[in-house]
Amino acid sequence: MSNKKDTSHYKDFFYIPSLSAGSMVSAFKKDTKFSDGTTMRFFAKEYPEKWRHNKFLVTAGHHYKKMDFRQQLGLDDETFVFGDSGGFQIATGALKWDGTGILREKIFHWLEANSDVAANLDIPPRVTFENRFQDSMDISFDNFKYFEKHQSGKTKFLNVIQGTFNEEYSTWYHKFKDFDFNGWCIGGPKKLVDFMYVIALMLQEREFEKQHIQYIHLLGISKISDFFILSTIQKLLNELTDGRVQLMTDSSSPGQYPVFGTYLHSTNYKTQTFTELYFPKNAEYRRKTHIAKNKGSVEIDKTNLVPCSLDCPACKDFTYEYLGGQTASGLDRYSQEGMPRMVVHNTHLYCEAVKDINKLVNNHVELLETAIPTELFNVILSLHEMFADPEKAMHVYATYVKTYKKYGGDSISTTDANKFNEFFKF
């Protein structure tokens, strides 16, 4: 008889595209097709099985008045739908918060109607709530009490931790930790050093070992280095909790890049970057592109296929013709046909990167040191040390804090959410 432990139920960290704001909403609602008849709904049963990604984020901040929003987008019961509560939109002032509880009630019922797992309605200490940490925390606490009391079990709600520096994260955690929810959203960390502090804090407090914790969600981070870190945490959570806890993150990045004309070609683990190709919009598009160093020009054959490293459904017949001109009905072809293809392709690239990184972290850990930057490898080593002895997690954090600051830079966010919001006001 083999004494080998059964790990078949262990989980892989997964990525959730956040594309429920912006131009793709219309494409999903209309069930827009590529020219070969394939639906753009990459989460649908009809999408090629090899490429189907049945995970999606919907946001109450943009759509809380549409109670059937899930059905409008074609998100069936087999699709895992994560609900964002819209707290960021309240913090920015895009949603008016009057303190009466009316908006809170509407958002609560919308999340129960449209999502499988959802974040509580937290008010992050950002933008209009900058330097108002106590107000942010008090309003969020009242909202969480309402959610805890009224939750039916249809949607699994997650606690949320917010802050801008260590003391705030610790204060928030200890005030909110006793709510009866199904896990945590970690929101707010713009720096790697802050995120690592939250992980160390929860390890030391044995938070992940509580039996009701099923999900840990990281709000809006999706750099390649983030994927390596999160995949490592999932691996260690599997070992700590015997596969009980699912780790996940989301971002709108696949949809943000095409706003600026950027198509993602491939990943580079050594530089931790996506290789980007720039496809200029209609006003900038020219049949001939001048190359200064040769003082000549290159003829662009518009019938050529856009280079796709994946051979994904979005690029099967994606030619340069989609990047300029008008559709048969006189609409801007770039916006109507080119951009949606770029968004779906970028989404596939993100999802494939996560799958590849999970395999590397789970099955070829000995190769990590040669595949990624030394500083990132040291961050991963620190996680192994934290999980090996949770009681000493904060000590490990203190030992590696200079590494986190050096490698993490100023931000762990992929793009500027405030700037992106300007493109999709509602």
Give 343-360 pLDDT, tens digit per residue.
999 999 999 999 999 999
Q: What is the pLDDT of residue 365?
A: 78
Which range marks the domain in which residue 76 is found?
Answer: 14-255+355-423
**pLDDT band (50, 70, 90) for residue 23:** confident
**Residue 297: strand pairing partners:** 290
d(CA 425, CA 404): 35
**pLDDT band (50, 70, 90) for residue 127:** confident
Query: Which residue spans within 369-423 are E strands per DSSP?
Result: none
Instruction: Give me the mean pLDDT over the 279-298 stretch.
Output: 51
Position 296 in a domain: no
Residue 398 pLDDT exceeds 90: yes
Q: What is the pLDDT of residue 112?
A: 98
Residue 60 pLDDT exceeds 60: yes
d(CA 197, CA 60): 29
**pLDDT band (50, 70, 90) for residue 76:** very high
Least confident of 74-83, 261-270, 288-297, 410-419: 410-419
Q: What is the pLDDT of residue 286?
A: 44
| Per-residue pLDDT reduced to its tens digit, 50-59 | 999 999 999 9
Instruction: Give me the mean pLDDT over the 418-426 stretch.
Output: 36
Q: What is the pLDDT of residue 282?
A: 55
Instruction: Give me the mean pLDDT over the 249-254 stretch.
Output: 95
Residue 289 pLDDT exceeds 60: no
Residue 152 pLDDT exceeds 90: yes
d(CA 41, CA 33): 8
**pLDDT band (50, 70, 90) for residue 410:** very low
Amino acid making up residue 167: E
Residue 290 pLDDT exceeds 50: no
Position 340 in a domain: no
Residue 264 pLDDT exceeds 90: yes
d(CA 226, CA 376): 10
Q: What is the pLDDT of residue 301?
A: 79
Position 5 in a domain: no
d(CA 90, CA 25): 21
Least confident of 222-236, 274-288, 313-327, 386-400: 274-288
**pLDDT band (50, 70, 90) for residue 105:** very high
| Per-residue pLDDT reduced to its tens digit, 191-241 | 899 999 999 999 999 999 999 999 999 998 899 999 999 999 999 999 999
Position 279 in a domain: no
Residue 291 pLDDT exceeds 60: no
Tally helices (H) and strands (E) across the chain: 16, 12
d(CA 185, CA 195): 12
**pLDDT band (50, 70, 90) for residue 409:** low
pLDDT above 90 coverage of the chain, percent: 75
Position 266 in a domain: no
Q: What is the pLDDT of residue 418?
A: 43
Q: What is the pLDDT of residue 59?
A: 95
Residue 420 pLDDT exceeds 70: no
Q: Between the CA of residue 103 and those of 112, 149, 191, what are the distances in Å?
A: 14, 17, 31
Least confident of 70-79, 119-128, 171-180, 348-357: 119-128
Q: What is the pLDDT of residue 299?
A: 60
Q: Residue 401's domain is classified under what CATH number?
A: 3.20.20
Instruction: Give me the mean pLDDT over the 59-77 stretch.
Output: 96
Mean pLDDT of the chain: 89
d(CA 410, CA 416): 12
Residue written as tokens 């987008």? 73
Q: What is the pLDDT of residue 279?
A: 83
Per-residue exposure over 349-383, b if at least 16 CB sit within 10 Å of its own CB, e if not: bbbbbbeebbebbbeeeeebeeebbeebbebbbbb
What is the torsional sign of CA 338, 340, 346, 348? negative
Q: What is the pLDDT of residue 2?
A: 56
**pLDDT band (50, 70, 90) for residue 283:** very low
Position 415 in a domain: yes
Position 191 in a domain: yes
How many structural domains does the chain have? 1
Position 25 in a domain: yes
Element housing 168 (H / E): helix 166-176
